[in-house]
């Protein structure tokens, strides 16, 4: 009897709670959600049209699939923008886009391209994003609204295509008279130092955004000794060069170059890195941080340094931000020699200059023997060019292992026929400039992707 009473009491208590909860008079406060926010978007599979040439040489097209999830969608909640930071490949069709993810708490509408009226946005329906679209997200009670602008970006050009432009050329430009040259670019300013057949030294200076090569200015030195244009280096905020072995300097490369105050005389001014100038004298390599105080460098193989036709370039390390590598090439006894030097900007480590033997097993990957070498860095690689002794057309050689191996044909370049002297430099807009003394041709080119704007994501902007 006691057990039955307890069971009955529990049942009555449960019933009272149940009916009390459903009592319309009970005090339950409900507030509709006012969230108007999109939190995640992922594109589905898209179609891309590619162009090719068939066996008869006729243009044709074919379609491939593009996995949309490989191109993350970023949502800028401060600016109410939705976009893909990495643009979709050329030819991707964004007029019929579906989504595998579109996280939004309440209802979302898309404005019509024609009338501007709201249309309910459906996740699985194909939607036209060939132009930016406005998305309106409403709160649950329809009293609040938030408008996003959504843009799906598609590249208009192939990423790795190298497009060249002929900037100037012909026998009427001063460049046509240069038998030796050196090209240096600082930001958006291009300097072409040239020596004519009679020994006169000239400077052609031009801004890269409005290039003009129609005139040249005569340059000389305080002592009257001829400037060695092949030795010109840009270091710090000044230019340095040799004049009959003495170090001379100029703030802007023009006019009369002053003596740098160095008591040593050098055979060649070899290279300039971020922290040092390098010069050769008596088969030894010297370094200076200011142009007039010099110290001998440590080399692993004394007696094999280059003597003539020197060129050098410095490239940042790929994985260690504080490290750079300088590669020096030139001729010794008519044979090519290649040297490498690693620099640690933190000062924690010191490295000697290393000789890189051009051994037989390198075969076709060896650095070629040329005259008047010129070198620069471009697209995380080193570029080398020079005038072949046999008169054949110059080629561009690329090294992606800091001077150990070199390949031609990996970087598209125009004809450089007729060049008696060559110079290369890279400007602030990632254009590679090639100046051909003798022919007077000036060309510039850029890998398309290096000219694309890199917009930071919301996370990257917040952590700058």
Tell me if 347 is assigned to some domain. Answer: yes
Q: What is the pLDDT of residue 454?
A: 59
- Which of 156, 172, 187 represents a domain boundary (last residue)? 156
Q: How confident is the model at residue 27 (pLDDT cuts 50, 70, 90)?
A: low
Query: Got the DSSP string for 433-464?
Result: EEEEETT--EEEEEEGGGGS--PPPHHHHHT-
How far apart, in whole angstroms, are the C-alpha atoms of residue 75 and residue 157? 25
User: Residue 178: CB partners within 8 Å, gap ≥ 6?
Assistant: 192, 194, 195, 196, 202, 420, 421, 437, 438
The CATH number of the domain where 42 resides is what? 2.60.40
Helix (H, G, I), strand (E, B) or coil at 68: helix
Region 278-284: mean pLDDT is: 95
Region 183-211: mean pLDDT is: 95
Q: Which of 386, 241, 381 is nearest to 325 (CA)?
A: 381
Helix (H, G, I), strand (E, B) or coil at 13: helix
Q: Is the pLDDT score of 107 beyond 90? A: no
Residues 101, 107, 113, 117, Cα dihedral to 10°: 170
Q: Is the pLDDT score of 2 beyond 70? A: no
What are the tens digits of pLDDT across the range 298-315? 999 989 999 999 999 999
Tell me if 426 is assigned to some domain. Answer: yes
- Residue identified by tokens 């057949």 is 197
Is residue 317 packed enough to be buried (19+ CB in 10 Å), middle (13-18) or exposed (0-12)?
A: middle
Q: How confident is the model at residue 409 (pLDDT cuts 50, 70, 90)?
A: confident
Q: How confident is the model at residue 31 (pLDDT cuts 50, 70, 90)?
A: low
How many residues in total does the chain contain? 464
How far apart, in whole angstroms, are the C-alpha atoms of residue 419 and residue 439? 5
User: Residue 118: CB partners within 8 Å, gap ≥ 6?
Assistant: 109, 110, 111, 112, 136
Do 329 and 228 fall into the same domain? yes
Q: What is the pLDDT of residue 32?
A: 53
Do 76 and 196 fall into the same domain? no
Q: What is the pLDDT of residue 124?
A: 78
Strand ranges inside 295-349, DSSP E: 295-296, 308-316, 323-332, 335-344
Structural domains in the chain (count): 2
- Residue identified by tokens 């030795």 is 231
Residue 319 sits at φ, ψ, to 5 deg, of -115, -15
Q: Which of 300, 303, 272 is nearest to 375 (CA)?
A: 272
Assess contact for 296 and 353: CB atoms under 8 A. Answer: no
How far apart, in whole angstroms, are the C-alpha atoms of residue 355 and residue 71? 44
Do 146 and 199 fall into the same domain? no
Region 241-261: mean pLDDT is: 95
Tell me if 320 is assigned to some domain. Answer: yes
Tell me if 11 is assigned to some domain. Answer: no
Tell me if 70 is assigned to some domain. Answer: yes
Instruction: Please state the pTM of the whole predicted model.
Output: 0.74
Region 349-378: mean pLDDT is: 88
Listed range (138-147, 235-244, 288-297) with the worst mean pLDDT:
138-147
Tell me if 253 is assigned to some domain. Answer: yes
Do 134 and 204 fall into the same domain? no
Do 292 and 320 fall into the same domain? yes
Q: How confident is the model at residue 410 (pLDDT cuts 50, 70, 90)?
A: confident
Query: 360: left (phi > 0), else alpha (psi -120 to 50), else beta?
Result: alpha
- Which of 156, 191, 210 represents a domain boundary (last residue)? 156
Do 367 and 385 fall into the same domain? yes
Query: Got the DSSP string for 217-255?
Result: EEEEETT-PPPEEEEEEEETTEEEEEETTEEEEESSS-S
Q: What is the pLDDT of residue 59?
A: 77
How far apart, in whole angstroms, are the C-alpha atoms of residue 216 and residue 437? 13
Tell me if 28 is assigned to some domain. Answer: no
User: Residue 410: CB partners within 8 Å, gap ≥ 6?
Assistant: 398
Greater confidence, 410 or 421? Answer: 421
Mean pLDDT for all residues in the chain: 87
Q: What is the pLDDT of residue 232?
A: 97
Do 309 and 446 fall into the same domain? yes
User: Residue 230: CB partners within 8 Å, gap ≥ 6?
Assistant: 180, 181, 182, 195, 310, 372
What are the tens digits of pLDDT across the range 36-69? 899 999 999 999 988 777 667 677 788 999 999 9
Q: Is the pLDDT score of 70 beyond 90? A: yes
What are the tens digits of pLDDT across the range 337-356? 999 999 999 888 889 999 99
Tokens at 440, concatenated: 């007077």
What are the tens digits of pLDDT across the range 11-22? 444 444 444 444
- Which of 123, 156, 189 represents a domain boundary (last residue)? 156
Strands 238-243, 118-120: parallel, antiparallel or unpaired by DSSP? unpaired
Q: Is the pLDDT score of 79 beyond 50? A: yes
Do 150 and 269 fall into the same domain? no
Region 216-226: mean pLDDT is: 93
Assess contact for 366 and 343: CB atoms under 8 A. Answer: no
Do 383 and 423 fall into the same domain? yes
Assess contact for 340 and 351: CB atoms under 8 A. Answer: no
Greater confidence, 182 or 11? Answer: 182
Distances (CA, A) of 212 to 169, 203, 208, 216, 413: 11, 12, 9, 10, 22
Q: Is the pLDDT score of 123 beyond 70? A: yes
CA angle at residue 258 from 257 to 264, to 5 degrees? 115
Tell me if 182 is assigned to some domain. Answer: yes
Region 220-228: mean pLDDT is: 94
Do 87 and 195 fall into the same domain? no
Greater confidence, 250 or 348? Answer: 250
Query: Got the DSSP string for 14-57?
Result: HHHHHHHHT-TTS-----------EEEEEE-EEEEEEEEE-TTS
Range of the domain at 47: 38-156
Do 250 and 139 fall into the same domain? no
Region 18-43: mean pLDDT is: 63
Q: Which of 334, 464, 394, 462 is nearest to 74 (CA)?
A: 462
pLDDT above 70 as % of the chain: 89
Do 125 and 213 fall into the same domain? no
């Amino acid at each position: 009897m006691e057990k039955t009473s307890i069971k009955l009491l529990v049942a009555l208590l449960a019933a009272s709670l149940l009916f009390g909860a459903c009592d319309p008079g009970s005090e339950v406060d409900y507030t509709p959600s006012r969230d108007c926010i999109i939190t995640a978007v992922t594109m589905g599979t898209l179609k891309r049209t590619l162009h090719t040439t068939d066996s008869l040489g006729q243009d044709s097209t074919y379609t491939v699939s593009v996995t949309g999830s490989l191109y993350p969608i970023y949502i800028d909640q401060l600016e109410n923008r939705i976009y893909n930071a990495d643009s979709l490949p050329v030819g991707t069709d964004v007029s019929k886009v579906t989504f595998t993810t579109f996280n939004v708490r309440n209802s979302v509408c898309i404005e019509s391209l024609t009338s501007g009226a709201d249309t309910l946005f459906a996740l699985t329906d194909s939607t036209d994003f060939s132009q930016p679209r406005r998305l309106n997200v409403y709160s649950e009670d329809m009293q609040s609204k938030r408008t996003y602008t959504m843009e799906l970006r598609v590249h208009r050009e192939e990423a790795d295509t190298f497009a060249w432009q002929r900037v100037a050329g012909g026998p009427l430009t001063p460049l046509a008279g240069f038998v030796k040259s050196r090209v240096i670019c600082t930001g958006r300013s291009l300097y072409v130092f040239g020596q004519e057949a009679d020994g006169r030294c000239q400077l052609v200076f031009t801004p890269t955004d409005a290039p003009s090569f129609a005139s040249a200015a005569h340059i000389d030195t305080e002592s009257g000794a001829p400037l060695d244009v092949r030795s010109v280096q840009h270091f710090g905020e000044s230019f340095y060069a040799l004049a009959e072995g003495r170090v001379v300097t100029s703030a802007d490369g023009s006019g009369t170059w002053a003596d740098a105050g160095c008591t040593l005389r050098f055979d060649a001014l070899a290279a300039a890195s971020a922290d040092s100038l390098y010069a050769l004298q008596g088969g030894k390599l010297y370094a200076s941080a200011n142009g007039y105080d010099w110290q001998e460098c440590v080399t692993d193989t004394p007696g094999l340094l280059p003597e003539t036709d020197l060129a050098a370039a410095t490239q940042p390390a790929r994985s260690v931000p504080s490290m750079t590598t300088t590669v020096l090439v030139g001729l010794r006894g008519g044979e090519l020699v290649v040297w490498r030097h690693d620099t640690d900007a933190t000062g924690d480590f010191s490295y000697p200059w290393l000789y890189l033997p051009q051994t037989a097993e390198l075969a076709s990957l060896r650095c070629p023997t040329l005259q008047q070498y010129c070198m620069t860095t471009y697209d995380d690689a080193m570029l080398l060019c020079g005038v072949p002794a046999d008169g054949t057309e110059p080629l561009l050689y690329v090294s992606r292992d800091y001077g150990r191996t070199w390949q031609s044909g990996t970087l598209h370049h125009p004809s450089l026929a007729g060049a008696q002297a060559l110079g290369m430099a890279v400007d602030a807009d990632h254009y590679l400039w090639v100046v051909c003394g003798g022919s007077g041709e000036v060309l510039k080119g850029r890998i398309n992707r290096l000219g694309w704007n890199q917009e930071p994501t919301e996370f990257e902007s917040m952590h700058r």
